[in-house]
Structure 1
Amino acid sequence: MKQLTFWLAMTLATATAGAAQDLQPKMAQFVTEHVMDWATDPIIVDAIIAQNAITGRYDQAKIDELDALWMAQAGMPGVPLIDDVLQNPTSDFLRQRVAASAGTISEVFVMDARGLNVAAAEATSDYWQGDEAKFSETFPKGPNAMHFGEVELDGSSGEVQAQVSISIVDSTGAVVGAMTIGINLSTLI
């Protein structure tokens, strides 16, 4: 039985990796046609720039401290760090974009120049994304960077999803942050 489970897991992993490659053009097309027009909206760009002015002075110890605090307090009501990210006009704007996507966008969050959350439609598992490919493969790579995450099965919804991350630029074309969009892949097939 253990061998059967192992082989099923290996088959799923291989199929998932192939599916990710096959779906990248469709994910890129969706982001280009349905996300890029609002990804540089002033409500997003201005929020990133404002946070960059604060977090640009943070050292790694401060970032690690905030990330640990976020993870320890996730799911608790009335937590200032998490509330500051979730309860602001930019997060409201992101939630409106999720709702307008008719189920295609499952999540969306915005990061500053350090990879720290600025705004999110829903709480993320951690505050600092700077050590993850969603940030390291976008923000430092320039204005046209796009990163495709792994295809994953969401255990709670049963939906197959993948994240696409992009650089966010200001009106001069300078990269100021990044954004990650979770896409329900069944809507693209």
Structure 2
Amino acid sequence: MKAIFNSLILFSFMSGTALANEFQSELEALASGQIAEIASSGEVIEAVKAQNLETAGHDQAKIDELDKTWRAEAEAVDQPMIDSVLDNSLSGYLADLQDGSDGLFTEIFVMDAKGLNVGQSDVTSDFWQGDEAKWSDTYGAGAGSVHISELEQDESTQLLQSQVSVPVVDPDSGQPIGAVTFGVNVENL
């Protein structure tokens, strides 16, 4: 049965008709349930607040410099900046969540008020997400917003996935302080 499902999804994906909205209701339920719960966890809130204090004064030039360093390290053997993020407690928490998801989550990363990575379950290709819809359509749209991407086939795993993003909201003020993105394997919904 799974092989038939995969063939049908792959066919519709290859023909250009497989959109994330085929799974819209399931992804929205996941966003308002498990993903919202994780986004409001103490681990996420505290890490985002701490990084927001550190990055509050960063201008675009500083953000671009950090992103350039990250991208260069992603291709290098020595990765001090990447290692410092992957070794933080939030990244450990997110990696544990991904490992315990039975393949549902393919990646998880949290961003601050500037769109910079705070923690992640795996290495991302860039450090600054602030120029992407996953951040602007959640952090910028306010509490309760959800961004669901189109379906994409992951080149390395051949899995069909969608990214689901929600804002990280300060429980005291009710205002967004960051955002979180989950790669979701739609076959495991």
The TM-score, its normalising length taken from structure 2, stands at 0.89
SS in 1 for 2:143: coil
Shift of residue 11, structure 1, vs aligned partner:
7.1
* 1:178 matched residue in structure 2: 179
* 2:124 matched residue in structure 1: 124
SS in 1 for 2:18: helix
Deviation digits for residues 9-47 of structure 1, max 9, x if unmatched?
Answer: 997252123xx1121111111232322222211111111
SS in 2 for 1:16: coil
Q: 2:148, 2:164 within 8 Å by CA — same for their partners in 1?
A: yes
Q: 2:145, 2:167 within 8 Å by CA — same for their partners in 1?
A: yes
Q: 2:39, 2:167 within 8 Å by CA — same for their partners in 1?
A: no
Q: 2:112, 2:178 within 8 Å by CA — same for their partners in 1?
A: yes
Paired AA for residue 184 in structure 2: I
* 2:153 matched residue in structure 1: 153
Separation (CA, whole Å) in 2 of partners of 1:86 and 1:115:
17
Separation (CA, whole Å) in 2 of partners of 1:157 and 1:118:
25
Paired AA for residue 106 in structure 2: S
* 1:87 matched residue in structure 2: 87
Unaligned runs of 5+ residues in structure 1 are 1-8
* 2:61 matched residue in structure 1: 61
Paired AA for residue 183 in structure 1: V
Size of the alignment, in residue pairs? 178
Separation (CA, whole Å) in 1 of partners of 2:185 and 2:116:
24
* 1:133 matched residue in structure 2: 133
* 1:5 matched residue in structure 2: none
Sequence identity of aligned pairs in percent? 40
SS in 1 for 2:49: helix
Separation (CA, whole Å) in 2 of partners of 1:174 and 1:13:
41
Q: 2:98, 2:108 within 8 Å by CA — same for their partners in 1?
A: yes
Paired AA for residue 154 in structure 1: D
Which segments of structure 1 move beyond 4 Å, counting only runs of 4 or more?
A: none
Separation (CA, whole Å) in 2 of partners of 1:126 and 1:115:
11
The reply to whether residue 12 of structure 1 matches residue 14 of structure 2 is: yes
Shift of residue 180, structure 1, vs aligned partner:
0.3
Unaligned runs of 5+ residues in structure 2 are 1-10
